Amino acid sequence: MRVSKDALNKIGVLIESDAKDFVPVDTGALKQSIEYKTSKNTVEVGSPLDYAASVEYGIGQRPQPYLEPAVRENEGEIKDIIKEDIMKQIKEVLL
């Protein structure tokens, strides 16, 4: 059973929003570039900017994580979204 596109979008919006809240801001370019995309059974949140990983993981500088905390902050809600989505699909099959 796959998680629906709707559920993946809800998860993406949650993580993207909090990542933008947690990201350090200098020029604002990194914050503005954070976005999510979905495919099949996954949601990816990140930035295409070359230095995004350096900020998150501290490559050549002190780490300033923003993606990992965004996921951790929403872990319970992510689980609830997935559980609710799967239960909805099961009910549809049984009816």
Tell me: the pLDDT tens digits for 46-92? 999 999 999 999 988 999 999 999 999 999 999 999 999 999 999 98
> What's the number of domains the chain is made of?
1
pLDDT of 60 reads 87
Q: CB 2: neighbour CB atoms within 10 A?
A: 11
Provide the residue range defining the domain that includes 39: 5-94
The counts of H helices and E strands in the chain are 5, 2
pLDDT of 79 reads 97
pLDDT of 20 reads 98
Coil vs helix vs strand at 47: coil
CA 69, CA 88: separation in Å to the nearest integer? 29
Nearest Cα neighbor of 12 from 74, 66, 80, 64 is 74
Q: What is the pLDDT of residues 3-35, one digit of tens each?
A: 999 999 999 999 999 999 999 999 999 999 999
